[in-house]
A and B are shown apart, each in its own frame.
Chain A
Amino acid sequence: MSNGTTRRAVLKSGLLSSLLALFQKPVATSAHQIEKYSGSCGVLVDLTRCVGCRSCEAACNAENRLPPPQVPFTELSVYEKKPNQHRRRTDETRYTVVNRFEIPGREHPLFKKVQCNHCQEPACLTSCFVNAYTKTPEGAVVYNPEVCVGCRTCMVACPFYIPAFKYSSSFKPQIMKCMFCYETRLQHGKIPACVEACPRDALVFGLREELLQRGRRRIANNPDMYQDHIYGEFEVGGTSWLYLSDIPFDIAGFDTEITHEPILNSVTGFLGLVPMVLTIWPALFTGFHLLSSRKDRQKNEDDTPVTDNSQDEREGK
């Protein structure tokens, strides 16, 4: 104890600072000011241009070597939706699907492509405790099946219900989701397969900032047609895939109630407490217990003077 630090002082200051931390407000962060991944890429989806040809679905299937479809990709009957049927969604056999929406008053049905939106602050990545997910500088959210334990927390965490589980091979768990063609294309300077397949440039690949410019310009040039919003600019802290639409986004099946903060922000407060609860509480309450039981122990020791024979006597009785 030559430097004047005692164990008591360390414990006291540690306890004090963690107690202070408990009552401090978390630092407010604004999702709109995220400047991470400034050179990241994205895709601008213009729903006014999509005619539902399903070329993107076919290209995705071939690129990712997914199982053959039940009906050919030229088949448009897949858009028929029975009253109690859910809309088609991504699963272990398809990373992207196009859905048709019959909009009253709109001349043609609306087609909406669904795939991983490659969030700027991905909830799947945050929720994964084995770090199977990575956000690459190009903007892709990629997944590594080698470390995945198949807990499927990412499926719960995703606000867009995108990651699908490969139930056909549960012993070798694998999450199936769009990877932005990162391994096969993006890495090598090629654009994603679905974008390349789109005949009407309903999908346009580019730098995210540039796509936002493009989107804003299209809205400005055609204010009567477009909704004055780019879905994905702010949603859940921003996504790499951005959507333009001519009808309100909630009618087109988008979640417009979704937070503009990264999903991470709504759990940091709670998650910050977890290590404290796990490390400090046991020590603290053990201390309390020892303190409160100390008196009893001392009392017992005072009342019954311990002698060498006392143990043997008790056992003898």
Chain B
Amino acid sequence: VKPTIAAKKRGLTLVELVLGLVVVSMVAGATGAMMTAVGAGWAHGNQVEVSTSVSTQAMVRIQKILRAAKQIGVCRTGGISGSPSQSAAVLIWKGDINGDGHIQVSELALIEHQSSANPASAQLVCWELVFPSTWTTAQKQAQDLTLADDAIYSDAEIDSFKATTNVRAAGIVTCVTAAEFHRIDSSGTVRPALEYALKFNKDGVVIVKYGRTTSRTPAALPASQS
């Protein structure tokens, strides 16, 4: 039977239309929810990826500094949780650059944790002596004093070193909201080590990483520390 022109032009009934809209909206809602979830998961995955990358690079940087160290000096423990009374810090003899067997101020480095309410500003910094480029050799030598062999094992040396003229801090890794250091060394230790725990907060993703790095070029402990 050939349909009439009237039948061909007939639209949907209200019920059909409502049902169709309901089905379409349900499908659209489900699709939207799924896309939102996938997007959120994707974004979170990216954040984790970035945080992992940041924390891994941070560990690599710390390892590089510590491996080259001749001695690991005084260490402030800090804390990975709670509110430690002192920030984690460790003073190291980063190398016998002039080969004289003694510690000069320019051969020191202080790794210190600087906390902040803003996780992005919380960081680990490395304090080092940086001579002004305009200084003469004589001026540099005058400031680059030789320390007593056991000076770096005194807690007071941390603040003294930071207060030294031309000693400046440079960030080595950001987003470190908490840090804890433990020095492993004694007269019977062949290779001194530093154990550390760092809590990273990158865009809300919190990661805690633990590490232990031994010095590859240890110098003998001074008599007062043996």
A, B in one complex = no
